[in-house]
Amino acid sequence: MFVSATASNPEIARAMQRTASCQPEAAPQDSFAPRTYTEIPQLPYMAMTNIKPQEAATPEGRSEVASELQSHLRAFPSLTAVVGVLPVNGQETRLVVASRDKAVEASPMEGIYEISQRLTSSDFVKTMAARYPSEYHAIKPFDAEGKTNELRLPGNISLETAEMALVEGRSPNRYDQLDGFVDSLPQGKRVAVLLGGPSGAGKTRLIEKLQECAGDRKVKVVEGDMFFWGTDCPGGIPKTKTGEIYWDHERYMDIPRLQNDLSTLLATGKVDLPVYDFNPRPGSGSFIGHRSDETRHVEVGADDIIVVDSVHAVNKSIVDTLETNQLPYRILFLDSPLAEERLIRRIVREYDVRGSLTAETTLNLWDNSTYQGEVEFIRPHLMSMDPARDLTMTLEFPSDVRMSRKEVGERVAAMAKYGLSPGYEAFRVKEDELPELAIREEQRLVDVLATSKDEKALARAQKELDLLRNAPAYRKA
């Protein structure tokens, strides 16, 4: 269980001792002292303050508190969030968060979204949840006008310990937290893990780690990508505001089929899942993938972990299906510190897995569909997470690449100039080293054609060699 976190973190243990004896601060009923705000040294773009229970006892009082927090936020342009700590009854604490409009579109995320990420990956919060079991803690509006959001946390948490939880959260590559997450899952019966997060965050890798942590308990995966529609999408293929195909729109996924298959799997213990082919159907004249005639048979045991792996895993319709079937579930949201790192991973992966997608095509998809879908449909899922039971993990990848979106586009154009296929090395080296890389790559492809007996490898090597030799800068280095 997450309780073990105190053994490995003395700071949390000391904070819990302080928190256990902390009582709500008394205050006069009719008047309140001027509010004071504290900056978090490690997170200077956040400010915190105490809220007395009496101040939030009425709708009018909550509205006034919300206005005060928003006023402080507006007065300091460098702030992205103001957090009020409101004790409830010794068993629970409410964090009241004022954040800016459209904070989910910021890079990195700001306001309530970042706070939710940090708290759902905080060892302190998980430890308190084990000591003070309570009901669901999803984010909800604090005041009737929706000027602020409220996030409930288990235990009587002070401003000091709330600050500590925010600072310690969102640490990258904390696989030890995955152990605690798996240990906290209901035992002896099936449970679902809704694995969501933006494209390129590392969900496939995390499933492998999840299986390692589960030990003898089996992990069965339901891949959301297999439920995509083709040209038969009901109501027509969704489009972006600029008329592009909106591949990452939630309607492009056959959620009714996924609901039905999940219900069948839970009722019978087995189901035949669809298989999606990302290549166009032969002779269709379309460039859109299609659902294959094949299926994938899946069976689950009495205590298996069912992982729904999809950018839309936390869609309300999927959650409702699990609740209707009375299947316990937990949310595991995966993210990475930089969107540009995920973009590079996506470029390399799409070319490796779906060789028909060039780097330029992936860039276009990212700008017109992928990132917009992330903002509109994926990141808002953080608002439905419970920091006491769910988990956010942030992964960093050893690509050693730090580029802005503009620099990624410029590098892709330079790679095309030399006929280089997208790969991490082509992103890592300096641009003036690309000619030498092209020469090395030509020799590698020649060697593959001379030694390989794999028809697919031979075809790919020949295609890449032709591309390289027909490039504008071939042999002009």
pTM higher than the cut 0.75: yes
- Following DSSP, what letter does each residue of 203-221 receive, concatenated? HHHHHHHHHHHHTTS-EEE
State whether residue 1 is helix, strand or coil.
Answer: coil
End-to-end CA distance of the chain: 59
Does the domain at 175-393 match CATH 3.30.70.260? Answer given as no
Beta bridge mates, 191:
305
Distance (Å, rounded) from C-alpha 426 to C-alpha 413?
Answer: 11
* Half-sphere exposure in the Cβ direction for 338 (13 Å, CA): 16
What is the pLDDT at residue 26?
40
Cβ-in-10-Å burial (0-12, 13-18, 19+) of 209 comes to middle
Matching residue, tokens 């990452």: 248
Domain boundaries, given as residue ranges, for the chain = 2-168, 175-393, 405-469
What is the pLDDT at residue 33?
61
Distance (Å, rounded) from C-alpha 203 to C-alpha 310?
Answer: 8
Beta strands, E only, 90-217: 92-99, 140-141, 149-154, 191-196
What is the pLDDT at residue 399?
65
Distance (Å, rounded) from C-alpha 170 to C-alpha 335?
Answer: 9
Residues with Cβ within 8 Å of 193's Cβ and at least 6 positions away in sequence, in order, are 185, 210, 305, 306, 307, 308, 329, 330, 331, 332
**Do residues 247 and 373 make contact, with C-beta atoms less than 8 angstroms apart?**
yes
Q: Tell me which residues of the chain have a pLDDT lower than 70.
A: 1-33, 107-108, 354-356, 398-400, 476-477
